[in-house]
Amino acid sequence: MTKLIVFTDLHMVPKGTSIIGLDPFQRLSAGIAHVNRYHPDADRVIVMGDLAHQADRPSYERLKALLDQLIPPLAITIGNHDRRDIFLDVFSTCARDEDGFVQQAIDFPDCRVVILDTLFAPPYDYPRSHAGFLCTRRLAWLDRQLETAGDLPVLLFMHHPPHATGFTGMDLIRLINEVDFYDLVKRRGNVLHLFAGHVHRTISGSSRGIPFSVFKSPVHQQPMPFDAPDASLSVDEPAAYGIAVMTDTGVLVHTEDYEIAVRDAAVA
């Protein structure tokens, strides 16, 4: 049974700075310690982008120092807050495809994991590049990974959700070519589950008949009002990571609110 730990939206900042009074370094450090204590047997820790809040080198260097502490092996991609060139300069050994995009496919005995780079840049033209996009080359790469998966079901990991999630502001900056994406995925028919971040909320459901899970951030979260047009609203709610476990009949998906999790339960 393949076990995957999933982090997204780390938003690392330079030392001495914070986001709405929260310290991304401290919160992620606690999450990594939690994973190392309770899930050292995980087959991968997958990180789905928005790694550095301002895409600056000092933040990537701080982040790398933390991620290097993980016991399970790491697989990582980028999101709309990142810069591909600066990230790759710091994470120089990170897997990428033949075109230089930060994406990879990993085979396990019971599934193929496909990790996508949905960054709509360069040029880094905000707010335009806060939306996600899969260009022709990335879609062709994805098609090859689905085609060659054989009998393995595919788990897809990406920063931007490829469909609306109900939050007005965030839905304006989702994957903008979702029709092309879903046409490809539905044609191949072997994607078991989609995983995304970006929204800073725990969301689950299905789109075009494919189940999906969206995970919260280790740092700040999206407030619940659906009709807020501002995509930058943030609240202080407990940090979390995801857990995905393959079974004989499918995949189980959990959220671990590690800051408030209690392991030693009392008997009523």
Report the length, in residues, of the chain. Answer: 268
Handedness of CA 107, 158, 134, 193 (dihedral sign): positive
The CA distance from 93 to 16, in Å, is 28
Q: Is the pLDDT of residue 255 over 80?
A: yes
Summarize the confidence of residues 48-74 as an average pLDDT.
97
Identify the pLDDT of residue 231. Answer: 74
Helices (H), 68-135: 84-90
Does the pTM surpass 0.85? The reply is yes
Before 14, cis peptide (omega within 30)?
A: no
Least Cα distance to 184 among 132, 146, 135, 133 occurs for 146
Q: What is the mean pLDDT of residues 8-34?
A: 96
How many Å apart are CA 244 and CA 171, to the nearest integer? 25
pLDDT tops 70 at residue 45: yes
By the 8 A CB rule, do 212 and 204 touch? Answer: yes
90 has pLDDT over 80: yes
How many CB atoms are located within 10 Å of the residue 72 CB? Answer: 18
- The predicted pLDDT at position 242 comes to 98
What per-residue confidence (pLDDT) applies to 75? 98
Query: Distance between alpha carbon 45 and the CA centroid of its chain, in Å?
Result: 10
Question: CA of 226: how far to CAs of 171, 204, 214, 222, in Å?
Answer: 10, 15, 16, 10
pLDDT per residue over 96-152, tens digit each? 999 999 999 999 999 999 999 999 999 998 888 999 999 999 999 999 999 999 999
The alpha-helical segments, DSSP class H, found in 44-94 are: 57-67, 84-90
Q: How many CA atoms within 13 Å lie on the side-chain side of 127?
A: 8
Place 228 in a pLDDT band, splitting at 50, 70 and 90: confident
If phi > 0 it is left, if psi is from -120 to 50 it is alpha, else beta; for residue 23 that is beta
User: Which residues have a Cβ under 8 Å from the Cβ of 183 and sit 6 or more positions away?
Assistant: none
What is the overall mean pLDDT for the chain?
A: 95
Class (C level, CATH) for 3-256:
alpha beta
Q: What is the pLDDT of residue 72?
A: 98
User: Does 262 have pLDDT greater than 90?
Assistant: no
Give percent of the chain with pLDDT exceeding 90: 89
For residue 267, name the pLDDT band (cuts at 50, 70, 90): low
Over residues 231-246, mean pLDDT? 91
Q: Which residues contact 40 (CB under 8 A, 6 or more apart)?
A: 71, 72
Give the three-state DSSP class for 34: helix
Could you list the beta-strand ranges (E) of the chain.
3-7, 44-48, 74-77, 104-108, 111-115, 154-157, 191-196, 203-207, 210-214, 241-246, 251-256
Average pLDDT over residues 149-174: 96
Q: Give pLDDT tens digits for 175-224.
A: 999 999 999 999 999 999 999 999 999 999 999 999 999 999 999 888 88
* DSSP three-state, residue 25: helix
Task: Say if residue 50's pLDDT is above 80.
Answer: yes
What's the mean pLDDT in 157-165? Answer: 97
